[in-house]
Amino acid sequence: MLQGLLLPGAPMGREEGDLPRTSASKMPLLVREMMNLLCSISEKRKMKAAIKHSGRGALVTGAVAFVGGLVGGPPGLAVGGAVGGLLGAWMTSGQFKPVPQILMELPPTEQQKLFNEASAIIRHLDWTDAVQLTTLVMGSEILQQQLLGMLVNYVSKELQAEIQYDD
């Protein structure tokens, strides 16, 4: 008989059985699920990264210069250094891999770092599971840009990789 009355403090606009949407209703987000979210964002932007192997390039340059010096003396050293430098640069460039692949191949400690940084960006969102969180993020250009910026910063600085976007 009192079904149409609203009592003070009674919830409005919820169906029976709905849980209130508070930060207490958030489910713990697993690192793997966060990696999947970051993969979705980077895949949407068609991000690729080339991880620079500068140490390997330097080693090749030095080795070829050394051999050139042994074989040809001072002129051989100069030619070996130039050839080694070109060979080292060629070896370390253009090895682009999709960012989602790179993210999934990261060691657990690096994935945890990314998880912590991304969690700081999404902490204000109201979600109950990873599917809902992914829907919220993929529906918001601003959130995608924030997570993308964090991801680009991480890949550039931590992995010393060059980012490329395919159109």
Chain segment 63-89, per-residue pLDDT in tens: 777 777 788 888 877 777 777 777 766
> What span, in angstroms and rounded, lies between the C-alpha atoms of 136 and 157?
28
Q: What is the secondary structure of 9-71 as a DSSP string?
A: T---S--TTPPP-SGGGPPPPPHHHHHHHHHHHHHHTTEEEEE--HHHHHHHHHHHHHHHHHH
Residue linked to tokens 């060691």 = 107
Which pTM was predicted? 0.59
Residue 46 in tokens: 């068609």
> What span, in angstroms and rounded, lies between the C-alpha atoms of 104 and 156?
17
Which contacts of 77-86 are long-range, i.e. CB under 8 A and separated by 24 or more positions? 84/60, 85/61
Chain segment 94-146, per-residue pLDDT in tens: 577 889 998 999 899 999 999 999 999 998 888 888 888 889 999 999 999 99
